[in-house]
Amino acid sequence: MRNVFLRDYTAGDINDLVDKVLRDLGHPDPPLNLDAVRELLRLDRQYYSSTEDGVLRDVAHRLKVAGRQVLDRPMLLFEAIRKFDLRSLFLPDGKRILIDQELPDAKQRWSEGHEIGHSIIPWHLDTMLGDNKRTLTPACHEKIENEANFAAGQLLFLHKAFVRDAGDLQPGIDAVTTLKKRYGNTITTTLWRYVERSEEPMVGGISFHPRRLSAEFDPKNPFRYFVGSRTFQERFANVREDELFKSVRSYCANRRGGQLGASDLLLSDDNGIKHVFHFETFFNQYEALTLGIYKCAHARIVTVES
């Protein structure tokens, strides 16, 4: 899965909405207190389970995904949750956020931020209510999900505060782990936000341990998440994930956790010019985090015969 940047005017509108929330909260210090956000926005949070239908029965007749009525009968909601892998829902009419209680706490935080994102974006309300006049195509559904993810990232990382804090730290994996602790979010979302806010070419990846590959590993798509800064996507669009993963694997040690290794690697830009990136990979016992930071253009050595 690769990150997608929103159009500038859309991102600007969402940033304004996030800034209003943060301003009304008094520009809080990290980590963001989601209880305070819900109180400000008058949102209610409830949890659901795939083994209990009490909360879910109430939402069955409202739910639409990608323009299709997911349910004809309330008891089919469990099947819909499994089919569409739904982990959270937002109900505008009751201003309720529903979260899968089986999610780990850190992931529940992201899911809640995502649904809060839906709640503050005014043009999402009709689609969340399933308005027949604005039913969603799959492409439109993907678009609003990307917008909600963007809002969640800006909100949970306090927008400009994260950019300032990230800029004050020495670039690298250590900065990501420091920011994870400071903002109270998952290491995956922190790496994602860290890379996206960079004005320089930067790339990050989340994968299995490069030296301890699972049976589920797909060599054609080795990174579960592959995130590039805007300048990386503009200048290095032809970088292949499978080739990059092989290079990353070459410097990684077969350690159980912690720092797996680091190395300078050459990546070719879209004009075929080689550039030096410093890569490092860290394993947190669950996932391997890889970060590549731009250093310089690769100097060509020309030999002149005397």
Interval 98-147: pLDDT, tens: 888 888 888 999 999 999 999 999 998 876 654 444 455 778 888 999 99
Question: Which one of 124, 156, 188 terminates a domain?
Answer: 156
Shared domain check, 206 and 106: no
Q: Does some domain include residue 55?
A: yes
- 78 and 36 in one domain? yes
Task: Give domain status of residue 89, yes or no.
Answer: yes
Q: Determine the pLDDT at residue 67.
A: 44
pLDDT at 284: 95
pLDDT tens for 242-261 read: 999 999 999 999 999 999 99
* Region class of 120: left (phi > 0), else alpha (psi between -120 and 50), else beta: alpha
- CATH code for the domain of 151: 1.10.10.2910
The pLDDT value recorded for residue 63 is 52
**Structure confidence at residue 131 (pLDDT):** 42
Q: Looking at the structure, tell me whether residues 104 and 185 fall in a common domain.
A: no
209 lies in the same domain as 257 = yes
Q: Is 187 found in the same domain as 256?
A: yes
- Cα 4 from chain centroid? 10
User: CB count, 10 Å around CB of 38?
Assistant: 17
Check which CATH number belongs to the domain holding 169 and give it: 3.30.450
Does a structural domain hold residue 115? yes
Total structural domains within the chain: 2
Same domain for 39 and 106, yes or no, is: yes
Is 2 within the bounds of a domain? no
Which of 156, 190, 223 is the last residue before a domain boundary? 156
Beta-carbon-side half-sphere exposure of residue 281 (alpha carbons within 13 Å): 32
Rounded Cα gap, residues 34 and 116, in angstroms: 9
pLDDT at 35: 98
Extract the tokens encoding 43: 């949102």
Domain that holds residue 178: 160-297
Chain centroid to CA 220 = 21
Residues of the chain whose pLDDT is less than 70? 50-86, 93-94, 127-136, 301-306
Q: Are residues 12 and 126 in the same domain?
A: yes
Q: Indicate whether 305 belongs to any domain.
A: no
What's the confidence (pLDDT) of residue 303? 56
- Boundary residue ending a domain (133, 156, 179): 156
> Are residues 178 and 137 part of one domain?
no
- Please name the residue that has the structure tokens 């997608």: 4
Q: What is the pLDDT of residue 69?
A: 45
